[in-house]
Every structure is written in C-alpha cells, then in structure tokens.
Amino acid sequence: MSANKKEVLLEAHDLRTWFEIKKWGFLHVGFVRAVDGVNFKLNRGESISLVGESGCGKSSLAKTIIGINRPTDGELVFEGKSIKAVNDGDMRQYKSEVGFVQQDPYGALPPFMTIQRILEEPMIVNGIKDKAERRARLEQVMTELKLTPIVDFLDKYPHMLSGGQQQRIVIARALVLNPKLIMADEPVSMLDASVRVEILELFRKIQAKRELAIIYITHDLSTVRYFSERIWVMYGGKIVEQSPVRELLLEPAHPYTRALLAAISEPDASNIDRYKKVPPGEPPSLLNPPYGCRFHPRCEYMISGLCDQEEPPDFELAKNRLTACWLFKDKEDASDVAI
Ligand SMILES: Nc1ncnc2c1ncn2[C@@H]1O[C@H](COP(=O)(O)OP(=O)(O)OP(=O)(O)O)[C@@H](O)[C@H]1O
Ligand code: SF4
Ligand SMILES: [Mg+2]
C-alpha cells in the first residue's frame, strides 16, 4: 500500500513535558520545561530531522512521542485520535505503531538475552502467539538489516556483536511490529564514522521501502540533507523553525537557525560533528526560561519591548515554512528579512 504523504500521521498541539525539580527530595524548586509548547504535523512516510543544541529538549520530545514521558499538557494526535483520551489497550496499540531507536545500542539491548529472544520479545508482549509468524517477521527484519546468515546471530548475546551490528539489531527490534513511525535519537552518533554512513544508508532505504515516517534526531547537519525531507529546529523546549531541508539550508529564516548554520562553514560531509560549535552565548535555562522569545538574550536582532516581552507565535512563510520570530510577522518569504 502506498503511503499518502499528504495525510497527517501525528500532530502535536501545544505539547508540554515538564520535569519537577525537588530539593532534599521533597521541597519543590520548580519545573524544567524540557518540552514547552511544541506544535507540528508529521505526514505519513515523511522523514524529519530534529536539530538543536544540547539540552534543548530533543530527547524529551522523543520520549514524549513514544510514550515514555507523559505530557504535562497539550496533546498528541495519532491518526486522528488523541493519545490523551485512549484506554490502555489503545495505548499499547499506539506504542506498537511507534518504534524507538536510541543512541547507545549496547545500553538498549538486554545483555542476558539472545538476539532471537530480543527480537521476539516485542511480538510476544504484543500478543503475536503464532510461532511461524514470529519467525517470518524476525527473518524479514534481519534480512532487511543485512543481519545474515540469520542463524549466525540468533543464539548470540549483544556483547558478541560489533557496535554496528548491535545498532542494526536495535533497528530490527524497532521494526518488528511494523510501526508507522520511528523515533531515532542520534542513532549513529556512538558508532565509528565508517559504520555510520552504512547504517544511515540502510535505514534510509528501509524507510523509503516501508514508507515509514521517521523523526531523526541528530547533531550532524551533514547527514540531514541526505536523510530527510524536512527539518525542525528546536530551541529552549520549542520548535522555532520548520522547513523543507533544501530551503532551510539555502535560506534559513530564524536568527537561531542562521547562527547555527553560520557555526558550520559548510554543512557537508567533511564537517561531521562541527554543528556542536553552537552560536555564541549560553543556552537558556529551562528552569527559568527568558521571558518573550527564548532566544532574545542571544539575538542580535532583538526588538526591545517586543521580543523580550511577548512570545512569538509561528509565522507562516511561503513554501510550507514556519518560524517563530517577530521579524517574520506579515512576511511571506525568508528573503523578505535581510539580516
Ligand atoms: N527525567 C528528567 N528529569 C529531570 N530533568 C530532565 C529529565 N530528562 C531531561 N531533563 C532535562 O530536560 C532538559 C532537556 O534534556 P534533553 O535530554 O531532552 O535534551 P537534548 O536536546 O536531547 O540534549 P542532547 O543533545 O544533549 O541529547 C535538560 O535540562 C535535561 O536536564
Ligand atoms: S523574535 Fe526577536 S529575539 Fe527572537 S529570534 Fe526573532 S528577532 Fe530574535
Ligand atoms: Mg538527547
């Protein structure tokens, strides 16, 4: 079946995930607003890269989407149904539709389980009782991930595999329930550079073939263009720019995105990891975030009395682009603001 890319798979409406901070275990100090008013629409089969400097809330958003974190407020709507209102059975169904690939493959795999057990477990938990069906699915995902000959892997334990093989097992496990969305949180950042490209290529092929939606969190802007159609830029618990990748790399709108790209002389493969050189200034405290636009203490275009007072909403630019910056109020294109 062909995925209709115009059809919305997942929506977030003013999504918030706050973590309570306590002193001496009981005294309320405040909340870390890790996800603080996130709005997006993700289409079926679409691949998104989620970028932003360390601590801006990317993993917290990922964990909220896959159901590990409970949203403090706002809602997620999956295939038209609010996740907030679902019963336990529907929640289990939702979790089976959304796979997770995390950064550290070794940490993600239970050390005392064989590969066969690791890959079968999600199917058993989700009530797939037919052994032949489990075996068929296991063979399918292992073949897709080039974990062949299959029998060479089934009785092994995670520590017997290389980092690249371990991460392919993590991806296989995420796919075994035929999800519609994969949340991939820096899936290759802990692997050797030589294996990274190979795994990302494989992942990309599987995503296209299965018409899977992917949210790919990365610090590596060099892979973004190659891996995704759209990019979301996160800052201080919010998504501040959403754009097709090409347009964003050619003509970033939000001052933070511009500074992020300027921190990398050339966003291409030779600059792997340079994105860690973030714009000057300190990232905002998520315990006491700045008033108004969270980027205003670092922004050279800050409009006094506005940016430091009122939070900018998402302004729609041409070509399917959104940006939360006052400079773009009533503008129709990123190039309308020459900064
Ligand atoms: N369970 C938690 N309890 C309290 N605070 C948390 C928890 N999880 C995350 N945080 C805080 O939320 C903020 C966002 O963290 P998060 O891990 O989402 O950032 P990130 O963008 O994924 O960073 P990185 O790029 O370093 O992985 C941080 O201040 C972090 O300390
Ligand atoms: S809203 Fe104001 S402070 Fe925020 S990014 Fe735009 S110009 Fe800078
Ligand atoms: Mg993270």
Which atom of ligand 1 lies nearest, measured to the CA of 21?
4
Q: What is the pLDDT of residues 219-262, one digit of tens each?
A: 877 788 878 999 999 999 999 999 999 999 999 999 999 988 88
pLDDT tens, residue order, the chain (339 aa): 455 667 999 999 999 999 999 998 889 999 999 999 999 999 999 999 999 999 999 999 999 999 999 999 999 999 999 998 777 778 888 999 999 999 888 889 999 999 999 999 999 999 999 999 999 999 999 999 999 999 999 999 999 999 999 999 999 999 999 999 999 999 988 888 888 888 998 999 999 999 999 999 998 777 888 789 999 999 999 999 999 999 999 999 999 999 888 876 554 544 444 444 466 788 899 999 999 999 999 999 999 999 999 999 999 987 789 999 999 998 777 777 766
- What is the per-residue pLDDT for 3? 56
Task: Give me ligand 1 centre to Cα 19, in Å.
Answer: 9
Which atom of ligand 1 lies nearest, measured to the CA of 186?
27
Contact yes or no for 18/32 (Cβ under 8 A): yes
The structure tokens 């296991």 sit at: 138
- What is the per-residue pLDDT for 152? 96
Residue 55 CB less than 6 A away from ligand 1: yes
Task: Using CB atoms within 10 Å of the CB of residue 240, give its burial: 0 to 12 exposed, 13 to 18 middle, 19+ buried.
Answer: buried
- Ligand 2, atom 6, lies closest to the CA of 325
CATH no., domain 8-97+179-336:
3.40.50.300
SS3 labels along the chain: CCCCCCCEEEEEEEEEEEEEEEECCCEEEEEEEEEEEEEEEEECCCEEEEECCCCCCHHHHHHHHHCCCCCCEEEEEECCEECCCCCHHHHHHHHHHEEEECCCHHHHCCCCCCHHHHHHHHHHHCCCCCHHHHHHHHHHHHHHCCCCCCHHHHCCCHHHCCHHHHHHHHHHHHHCCCCCEEEEECCCCCCCHHHHHHHHHHHHHHHHHHCCEEEEECCCHHHHHHHCCEEEEEECCEEEEEEEHHHHHHCCCCHHHHHHHHCCCCCCHHHCCHHHCCCCCCCCCCCCCCCCCCCHHHCCCCCCCCCCCCCCCCEEECCCEEECCHHHCCCCCHHHCCC
Task: Give me ligand 2 centre to Cα 128, in Å.
Answer: 51
* Domain boundaries, given as residue ranges, for the chain: 8-97+179-336
Q: What is the pLDDT of residues 87-139, one digit of tens each?
A: 777 888 899 999 999 988 888 999 999 999 999 999 999 999 999 999 999 99
- Residue 52 has a CB neighbour count (10 Å cut-off) of 27
Give the number of the ligand closest to the Cα of residue 34: 1
Which atom of ligand 2 lies nearest, measured to the CA of 293?
4
Residues 253 and 337: their CA atoms lie apart, in Å, by 8
Residue 288 CB less than 6 A away from ligand 1: no
- What is the per-residue pLDDT for 86? 74
Contact yes or no for 273/219 (Cβ under 8 A): yes
Residue 315 CB less than 6 A away from ligand 2: no
Instruction: Identify the CA nearest to 174 among candidates 183, 166, 165, 185.
Output: 183
Task: Give me ligand 2 centre to Cα 303, in Å.
Answer: 7
Give the number of the ligand closest to the Cα of residue 337: 2
Q: In what order do the strands lie in the sheet with 81-82?
A: 27-43, 8-23, 73-78, 81-82
pTM across the whole model: 0.93
- What is the per-residue pLDDT for 276? 46
